[in-house]
Amino acid sequence: MVYKILLTLLLSFQLARFTSSVAAAPSPPPQNKDWPFDVTELRAPDGSVTAKFVSIGATLTELWVKDKYGKARDVVLGYDDPEQLWTDPAHPVFNAIVGRYANRLKNGTFSIPISRNPTPGAPNVFQIPTNAHNGQVTLHGGIVGWDRRNWTLERKSRTSVTYKHIDAGHENWPGTVTAYATHTVENGGVLKTVVKATATEKTPIMLTQHTYWNLDAFQDATVDTVLDTHHLQITSSRVLDVDTNMIPTGKFINVSNTAFDFRRAQTIGARWDATTALCGEGCQGYDSEWIYDDQKRGRTSLWSDASGIRVDITSNQPAVQVYTSNWMNTVRKTHHGGAAKSYGKWSAVALEQQGYVAAVNTPEWGVDQICK
């Protein structure tokens, strides 16, 4: 019996258009690496966007767009050498496709059909290895999630690339999931990502693209964080309430009169004092999921006046996790300041379009993430 599912994650964004005669030319040439670190470069015909990807994790490694002066900047975090996607112990999950279950899963445990407190050992209960919060949480799909798996390059053109991954029930997940991720660049500053997956058995599937944005690309050496420079707007009135392991309690927080209210644009740091411990003990910053008011047409926008670059992200997913890189400490790309400089905490914001976090542990929501 083969269950067919079609899960489409459509992530697209549009960047402001600028008139300029300067081509969006990335500075370092593509590295000639072996699979799964092979680099594919895509270029929109109008030169508005140039993007590079590698097979491991179907990962976006560079994204060059023009600033208000017509000069190209690479607006996503990453490494000079894509092999560090595999070796960096900090493992920030730079811009990869994350699966089979993104974000946090309580104790790595779920049942099919789902239940709030599955009994370990029962026949319909699955146990995925934990890798976060002192062994109490499975984060981003397991010890080696899809972001560190060897996707294969299926096909490519000058403007589009498709990667394939077969997840044959690694780390105890039920059934085999076959996934295709297609990235496409288009005129007018558009990058579109579509992920489709089919499963041979009932399984939870929840995916995201874990892109870290810094729209100034660190071109002003005196500014290391996004707090004062980046404006954020989210069409959402509710944030998921979480416990001390950042697992949803099932309740929602009304954003009115809180530091979560980005319905009107704010700089990310506008209410920074109120973010102490929002992301867990000893942590300052955002790491929460906003549920879009219109769950089919949610929008997150981010822009910086310094570069004049703006990104509008829409997707067919109901929510966005916003993570302000609260634990970041990783050496920068050369064109972001190089080996002498690190990406530090709050140096970028990850905007992860996705489903409800841990809905498989929260049956009262009535959100079905079991693909069948």
Ligand X SMILES: *[C@@H]1O[C@H](CO)[C@@H](O)[C@H](O)[C@H]1NC(C)=O
Q: Interface with ligand X by CB under 6 A: which residues?
A: 36, 107, 109, 120, 127, 144, 148-150, 237, 254, 256
Return the number of the residue (45 or 120) whose C-beta is nearest ligand X: 120
Residue 87: φ, ψ to 5°: -100, -20
H or E segment to which residue 42 belongs:
strand 39-43
| Closer Cβ to ligand X, 12 or 127, answer by number | 127
Q: Which is nearer to ligand X, 18 or 252 (CB)?
A: 252
Can you tell me the distance from the alpha carbon of 308 to that of 325, in angstroms, rounded to the nearest whole number? 22
Measured between alpha carbons, how far is 283 from 327 in angstroms, rounded to an integer?
8
> What are the residues facing 104 on neighbouring strands?
139
Residue 177 is which amino acid? V
Q: Which of 296, 269, 309, 297 is nearest to 285 (CA)?
A: 269
Minimum Å distance from CB 202 to ligand X? 20
CB of residue 289 to ligand X, shortest distance in Å: 16
Cα dist from 223 to 31, 77, 330, 344, whole Å: 29, 15, 17, 11
Which lies closer to ligand X via its Cβ, residue 26 or residue 36? 36
Kindly state the smallest distance separating residue 238's Cβ from ligand X, in Å: 7
The least CB distance from residue 237 to ligand X, in Å, is 6
Task: List Cβ neighbours of 108 (8 Å cut-off, separation of 6 or more).
Answer: 127, 128, 129, 130, 137, 138, 142
Nearer to ligand X, 26 or 142 (CB): 142
Q: Residue ranges of the alpha helices (H) in the chain?
A: 84-87
Of 38 and 80, the one with the shorter C-beta distance to ligand X is: 38
What does R_g of the chain's alpha carbons equal in angstroms? 20
**Least Å from the CB of residue 154 to ligand X:** 17
Length of the chain: 372
Q: How far is the CB of 194 from ligand X (least distance, A)?
A: 23
Is the CB of residue 336 less than 8 Å from the CB of residue 347?
Answer: no
User: To the nearest whole angstrom, how small is the minimum distance from the Cβ of residue 54 to ligand X?
Assistant: 12
What is the smallest separation between the CB atom of 109 and ligand X, expressed in angstroms? 5
- Under 8 Å CB-to-CB from 363, ≥6 apart: which residues? 114, 115, 116
**225 and 347 in contact (C-beta within 8 Å)?**
yes
Shorter beta-carbon distance to ligand X: residue 27 or 119: 119
Q: Which residue has the tokens 């990783």?
A: 330
Q: In angstroms, give the least distance from the CB of 125 to ligand X.
A: 9
Kindly tell me which of 54 and 185 has the beta carbon lying closer to ligand X.
Answer: 54
Beta strands 176-186 and 342-343: pairing type? unpaired
Q: CB-wise, 47 or 141, nearer to ligand X?
A: 141
